[in-house]
Every structure is written in C-alpha cells, then in structure tokens.
C-alpha cells in the first residue's frame, strides 16, 4: 500500500448493501489480530507521543495490545533513501515488538520504495539483473533478513514474499505478461525456500489486493499454483472504497480458502475517522467516499473495522490487519522515502490515533 497512489482509484466507488451481524457462535476465532506499524519507529525517533483512551501517555504497543492487537507487521525495503524500513530498522523495531509479546510479520517489498499493484520497481542494486540473478538475489536477501532476525532471537512468525503483487513483482522480469506466471513463480519459490531454510515454522504469505474480484483472485492464485508455487497463507488487501462490498469480500475469502486449501488473512484494511487533513500532504483517501453509509468519524471508523473483522471471521479467515494505525501526522515522517522530511502524511485521517496521538477509544481487534 502506498498512500498517494490510491487517490487515482477513488472514482471506483462501490455501494455496499450488506450489513454484517455479529459473528455466529460456530465461526472460528481470528488468531491474527494485526497492525502494520511500519512508520512507528520514525514517529518515535522524531519525539512523537502516543496516548491511551484516557489521554495518558503510554507505549504505543501497549495501547494497541489493550485494543486487542497480538500481531505486528513491518515492511522491509532493500536500501531506502530515508534509512527507515531497511533491515537495520526492522531489527530494531522487531526487538520492541517481540519484547511486548507480539508476533511478527515481515513484509518484503523487494524494492527501495513502495511496491503495490501499480508499480513493482526492483531495488537499484538489482536493476540490471537477469531473471536468474534476481532469483539468487531474492533467495539471498530473504534468507539474510530472516536469519539476522533469528540470530537476534526475533524469528519472524510469518513473511510476505512480495507486497500486493497482483501482476507480479520485480518488474519487468517478474511481471506476469499474457498470463505467463513462470517468471514470477521462479522468484516466489526462491522466497519460499529461503524462508523455510531460515526457519521451517515461519509461515509464507502470498499477498495481492484482489479482494475486489473473484475472477482476479482466481487468475492470480490459480496461475502461481499451476506454476508450482507453494505458500502457507493467502493474504488479501481490503479497502472498502476500492475493493467493493463486504458481501463480495465474504465470497472471495470463502472461495480462496476452499479452492486452495489454505488459510486466508486480510493483511491490510483501514477506514477514515475524518474528512479533514492534518498537514500539507493530500489525503490518500479524502474520506468523502463512505462504505455502508458509515460516517467518517471515530465511531464510524471502529464500526467499519468491526464489520470487516466479522465478515472475515464468518468467511473462515484467520486474521485481519489494520494498515498503519499509528501513522498520525508528525513533521518529518513523510510518505516518500526519498524525501521523508519534505513530504507529509497522506494517511493522517486513516490512522487509529488522532492528530495529537490519542487512540480512537472505540476501535477494537476482536478474536
């Protein structure tokens, strides 16, 4: 997910007709109650503070745990200009995460910057690599990050091999063209093998933003399965303003779970708590496109997140992750790693902490 890229899709508005009731008794609980906190270390380094529902300053991980979080997700970029979200910073933040008793997911973008459905740029150091060289690089890099964490006593519980790789990763070598999945599959296999060589118990997630479409989901996961790719968890992004109704989400989860015989997790979701903008950076999601007629308020944000969790649970998913709940607007924590001080936060109306760092008291992660 890259906040600024999503604005182009805001015209794709979906009317949501389904009201999801509380999860039935027979629904299995969600075991991955997650938060992507990739920007958090930068905020803390800049002196940012976080406050609990009572307005008392507290450790942000403790605040999230009180709200129900048991799993943290961190993106890793190869060599970002900002010096954040690289291996060293992931190791630092992973130590804080594990010290709080949270599980850890590492999200490999295989890029120096944002990788998402609209772009999958290889790291500058890999730009001239052949497909064969990229296969080696993916293996070595994945193994290096994973074993560095393991050696520090911070073994990741899961990893993503790529981020929102709807049509491949490491373009153009790993891009899916004319439904030829072989190049991408060769890279995914290397990531899987490296992860298992590091630690056989670490679960491998293959992540797309295909919660919007049964046909797109099947095209991609059929494609990699038929090309011999193995994975442990199917990961999907779901943002209601881009990815359609909760009824459709339910159907996609059920189909993915049963078709591939693997657990499904929503590894990214979020909703706005305001239409306002805290800084000079345009909001990625203006907040004017509502889902289920839920208002852009703190209570509305919590309601939408609860409904997503209920839908996922009812469909048999194992987890839901809120994307960047701690990324409130603080000067110097911009979205562009090449200009982190000169850009702002396009996510300030989507975080679960307000512009002063106080948590939304209504929002809960529920098993």
Q: Which residues are catalytic?
A: 164, 268
Distance CA 258, CA 251 (A): 11
Distance CA 240, CA 37 (A): 21
Distance CA 96, CA 177 (A): 41
Closest CA to 268 of 103, 36, 105, 41: 36
What is the enclosing helix (H) or strand (E) of 225? helix 214-226
**In contact, 210 and 217? CB cutoff 8 Å:** yes
Residues 29, 32, 35: CA angle, nearest 5 degrees: 135
Distant-in-sequence, close-in-space partners of 143: CB < 8 Å, separation ≥ 6: 194, 195, 197, 198
Distance CA 270, CA 239 (A): 6
3-state secondary structure of 51: strand
The pairing of beta strand 32-36 with beta strand 319-323: parallel
Most distant CA pair in the chain, distance = 55
Exposed/middle/buried for residue 92 (C-beta within 10 Å: 0-12, 13-18, 19+):
middle
**In contact, 233 and 158? CB cutoff 8 Å:** yes
Exposed/middle/buried for residue 11 (C-beta within 10 Å: 0-12, 13-18, 19+):
exposed
3-state secondary structure of 130: coil
Q: What is the CA radius of gyration of the chain?
A: 19
Q: Which residue bears the tokens 């008291």?
A: 361
φ/ψ bin of 316: left (φ > 0), alpha (ψ from -120 to 50), beta (otherwise)? left
> What is residue 11's DSSP assignment?
T
Helix axis angle, 131-151 to 182-198, nearest 10°: 20
Distance CA 292, CA 240 (A): 9
């Amino acid at each position: 997910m890259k906040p600024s890229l999503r604005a182009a899709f805001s015209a794709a508005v979906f009317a949501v007709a389904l009201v999801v009731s509380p999860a039935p008794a027979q629904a299995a609980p969600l075991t991955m109650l997650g938060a992507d906190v990739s920007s958090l270390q930068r905020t803390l380094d800049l002196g940012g503070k976080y406050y609990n529902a009572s307005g008392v300053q507290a450790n942000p991980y403790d605040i999230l745990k009180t709200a129900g979080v048991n799993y943290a997700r961190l993106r890793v970029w190869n060599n970002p200009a900002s010096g954040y979200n690289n291996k060293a910073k992931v190791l630092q933040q992973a130590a804080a995460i594990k010290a709080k008793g949270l599980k850890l997911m590492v999200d490999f973008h295989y890029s120096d910057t944002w990788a998402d459905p609209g772009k999958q740029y290889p790291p500058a150091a890999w730009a001239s690599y052949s497909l064969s060289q990229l296969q080696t690089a993916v293996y070595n890099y994945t193994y290096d990050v994973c074993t560095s964490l393991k050696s520090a006593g911070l073994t990741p519980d899961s990893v993503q091999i790529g981020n929102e790789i709807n049509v491949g990763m490491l373009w153009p070598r790993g891009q899916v063209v004319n439904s030829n999945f072989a190049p991408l599959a060769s890279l995914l296999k290397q990531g899987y093998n490296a992860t298992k060589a590091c630690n056989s118990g670490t679960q491998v997630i293959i992540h797309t933003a295909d919660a919007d479409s049964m046909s797109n989901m099947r095209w991609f996961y059929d494609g990699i399965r038929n090309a011999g790719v193995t994975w442990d968890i199917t990961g999907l992004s779901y943002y209601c303003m881009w990815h359609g109704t909760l009824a459709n989400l339910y159907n996609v989860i059920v189909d993915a779970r049963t078709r591939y015989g693997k657990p499904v997790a929503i590894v990214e979701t979020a909703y706005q708590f305001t239409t306002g903008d805290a800084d000079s950076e345009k909001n990625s999601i203006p907040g004017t496109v509502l889902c289920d007629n839920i208002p852009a308020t703190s209570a509305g944000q919590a309601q939408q997140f609860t409904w997503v969790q209920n839908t996922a649970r009812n469909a048999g998913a194992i987890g839901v992750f809120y994307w960047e709940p701690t990324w409130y607007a603080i000067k110097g924590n911009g979205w562009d790693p090449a200009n982190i001080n000169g850009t702002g936060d396009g996510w300030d109306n989507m975080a679960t902490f307000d512009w002063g760092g106080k948590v939304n008291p209504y929002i809960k992660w529920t098993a």
